[in-house]
């Protein structure tokens, strides 16, 4: 059996009931075959792949907090410090009832390669909780965040592990967690990113994942003889990534006609009104039904259905496994040219393969959504030098990073005989840097 297959079987056996983690590992290992096969003896002797798929450290903890009725609630907290070969652990915190160890491991594993692709010195990690922020008061959110940090603080630090936001964790939650960290440690340091602008946050971090997704998509289209300008775009999600993807797509001259949340989706024939979407989601924290109620051109539908709308470019920006094989078939039948992932692993493996077989340009999240974590690394730089850069400076750096990522993954795919396979290009380019650093640092 090949080394790759052996390690995949080992992962399935050692990590039962973690299907998302298996899926993330399978996608990476499958596309590394050409590299691994060529160095099989050396990698096998060093157990390089076994070390790569095993987190350096996994932290599981209890998070007790008191709700507004005086009732004590208990949630599970997680931080998986996956790989620190190229820098301190870096990656977001997710607060969502679906969170479990397997979800955090899939996200942490992907983060290793994504962070490597940014070209910046950050290792891979991820964390979160099965806490559901929906419907909670500000006081309950604060109580939860303080309790979460009262345990997490001992495991993180500006040079050790630097968490940030993800699903259910935005500026409000980062603020409460930062305050508690500072109080316990009595240290003012860049231990979290995505901070508010008054206490060490970076301009353009809020926009970075969505803007970065569009910078990469625009470069992809340009280098393949097309143009983002004038394209019809379908976006899923209505959170941080989706909102700023829609905003940048419109700034670049595209028309975005859909968005979605966990209960339904919008088709807006006139193009999404971003100011209204921000009001509904960022300010009121309300459902998309409120968007439809305020806008004549918008239709609201219950359930899922974004991918049934005809578009040139599809940008899944909500969550994992939200674009299935049937959706991919529908998109291809409707003439889609490109699919770029704003979310982490939103496209199932079968759907990805179908899109690739049908010559749709497909860029996975490790490359396409790396703008968020890249800008987090820029926030770390600013914190270290105790300076702030202007919006234009950060945005220009972000744009350059995304253009570089596109060319690096395109070059890697070509070099290994898989031209146009940007998934393989991203996995290979991300892997090579981490593998070299691991080798240089010995058996640790
Ligand atoms: P948010 O919490 O801001 O938004 C998430 C959006 O997706 C919301 O509209 C939410 O609906 C919807 N959603 C969440 N879970 C589900 C679900 N199970 N089914 C259907 N819809 C769902 O998160 P982000 O925008 O930050 O994250 C979105 C994706 O992007 C995630 O995959 C995340 O890992 C990834 N990502 C985020 C980065 C960042 O910087 N924030 C960086 C790189 C990737 P509702 O409004 O109803 O809650
Ligand atoms: O998935 C991701 O890259 C993020 N949620 C952002 C991580 C970060 O550290 O900014």
What is the per-residue pLDDT across 413-430, written as a single tens digit (0 to 9) for each?
999 999 999 999 999 999
Give the C-alpha distances (Å, rounded to integers) separating 295 from 1, 5, 26, 76, 129. Answer: 58, 52, 43, 40, 35
Task: Convert the pLDDT of each residue in 359-416 to its tens digit.
Answer: 999 999 999 999 999 999 999 999 999 999 999 999 999 999 999 999 999 999 999 9
Nearest CA to ligand 2 atom 9: 91
Q: Is the CB of 90 under 6 A from ligand 2?
A: yes
Buried b / exposed e over 119-150, threshold 16 CB at 10 Å, is bbebbbbbbbbbbebeebeeebbbbbbbbbbb
Q: Which residue among the candidates 90, 126, 248, 366 is catalytic per the annotation?
A: 126
**pTM (2 d.p.):** 0.98
> What is the model's pLDDT at position 301?
98
Pinpoint the residues of the chain covered by CATH 3.40.50.720: 208-363
Ligand 1 centroid distance, CA of 341 (Å): 12
Ligand 1 centroid distance, CA of 309 (Å): 21
What are φ and ψ of residue 24, in 5° steps? -65, -40
Ligand 2 centroid distance, CA of 166 (Å): 6
Nearest CA to ligand 1 atom 30: 343
Task: Convert the pLDDT of each residue in 119-147 to its tens digit.
Answer: 999 999 999 999 999 999 999 999 999 99
> What is the model's pLDDT at position 264?
98
The arrangement of secondary structure in 208-363, i.e. its CATH architecture, is 3-Layer(aba) Sandwich (3.40)
Categorize the per-residue pLDDT at 48 as very low, low, confident or very high, splitting at 50, 70 and 90: very high
d(CA 441, CA 444): 7
Q: Is the CB of 118 under 6 A from ligand 2?
A: no
Q: Is the CB of 166 under 6 A from ligand 2?
A: yes
> What is the model's pLDDT at position 317?
99
Task: Convert the pLDDT of each residue in 330-367 to its tens digit.
Answer: 999 999 999 999 999 999 999 999 999 999 999 999 99
> What is the model's pLDDT at position 377?
99
What is 3-188's CATH topology? Rossmann fold (3.40.50)
Taking the CA atoms of residue 269, residue 273, residue 274 and residue 276 in that order, the dihedral angle to the nearest 10 degrees is: -130
Q: Is the CB of 346 under 6 A from ligand 2?
A: no
Nearest CA to ligand 2 atom 4: 92
Nearest CA to ligand 1 atom 33: 343
Pinpoint the residues of the chain covered by CATH 3.40.50.10860: 3-188
Q: Average pLDDT of the chain?
A: 98
Ligand 2 centroid distance, CA of 334 (Å): 32
Task: Please list the residues that pair with 298 across neighbouring strands.
Answer: 268
Q: Is the CB of 91 under 6 A from ligand 2?
A: yes
Nearest CA to ligand 1 atom 8: 239
Assess whether 126 carries a catalytic annotation.
yes
Residue 46: both structure tokens together? 């060093």
């Amino acid at each position: 059996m090949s080394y790759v297959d052996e390690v995949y079987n080992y992962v399935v056996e050692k990590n039962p009931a973690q299907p998302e983690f298996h899926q993330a590992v399978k996608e990476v290992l499958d596309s590394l075959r050409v590299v691994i096969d060529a160095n099989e003896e050396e990698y096998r002797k060093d157990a390089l792949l076994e070390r790569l798929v095993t987190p350096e450290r996994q932290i599981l903890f209890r998070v007790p907090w008191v709700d507004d009725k005086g009732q004590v609630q208990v949630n599970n907290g997680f931080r998986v410090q996956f790989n620190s070969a190229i820098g301190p652990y870096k990656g977001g915190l997710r607060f969502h009832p679906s969170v479990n160890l397997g979800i955090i491991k899939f996200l942490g594993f992907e983060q290793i390669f994504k962070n490597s692709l940014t070209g910046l010195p950050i290792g891979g990690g991820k964390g979160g909780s099965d806490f559901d922020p929906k419907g909670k008061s500000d006081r309950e959110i604060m109580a939860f965040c303080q309790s979460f940090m009262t345990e997490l603080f001992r495991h993180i630090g500006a040079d050790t592990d630097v968490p940030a936001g993800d699903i259910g964790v935005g500026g409000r939650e980062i603020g409460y967690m930062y305050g508690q960290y500072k109080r316990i440690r009595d240290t003012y340091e860049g231990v979290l990113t995505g901070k508010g602008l008054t206490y060490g946050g970076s301009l353009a971090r809020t926009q970075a994942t969505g803007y970065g997704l569009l910078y990469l998509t625009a470069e992809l289209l340009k280098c393949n003889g097309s143009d983002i300008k004038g394209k019809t775009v379908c976006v899923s999600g209505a959170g941080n990534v989706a909102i700023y993807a829609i905003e940048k797509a419109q700034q670049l001259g595209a028309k975005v006609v859909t968005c979605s949340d966990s209960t339904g989706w919008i088709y807006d024939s006139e193009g999404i009104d971003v100011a209204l979407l921000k009001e509904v989601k960022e300010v009121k924290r309300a459902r998309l039904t409120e968007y439809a109620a305020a806008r004549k051109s918008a239709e609201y539908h219950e359930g899922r259905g974004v991918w049934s709308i005809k578009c040139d470019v599809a940008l899944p920006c909500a969550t994992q496994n939200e674009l299935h094989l049937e959706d991919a078939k529908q998109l291809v039948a409707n003439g889609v040219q490109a699919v770029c992932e704003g979310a982490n692993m939103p496209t199932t493996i079968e759907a990805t393969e179908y899109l690739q077989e049908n010559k749709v340009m497909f860029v996975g999240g490790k490359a396409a959504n790396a703008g968020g974590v890249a800008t987090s690394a820029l926030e770390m730089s600013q914190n270290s030098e105790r300076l702030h850069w202007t919006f234009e400076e950060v945005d220009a750096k972000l744009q350059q990073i995304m253009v570089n990522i596109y060319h690096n993954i395109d070059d890697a795919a070509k070099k290994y005989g898989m031209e146009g396979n940007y998934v393989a290009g991203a996995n290979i380019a991300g892997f090579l840097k981490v593998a070299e650093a691991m080798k240089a640092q010995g058996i640790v």
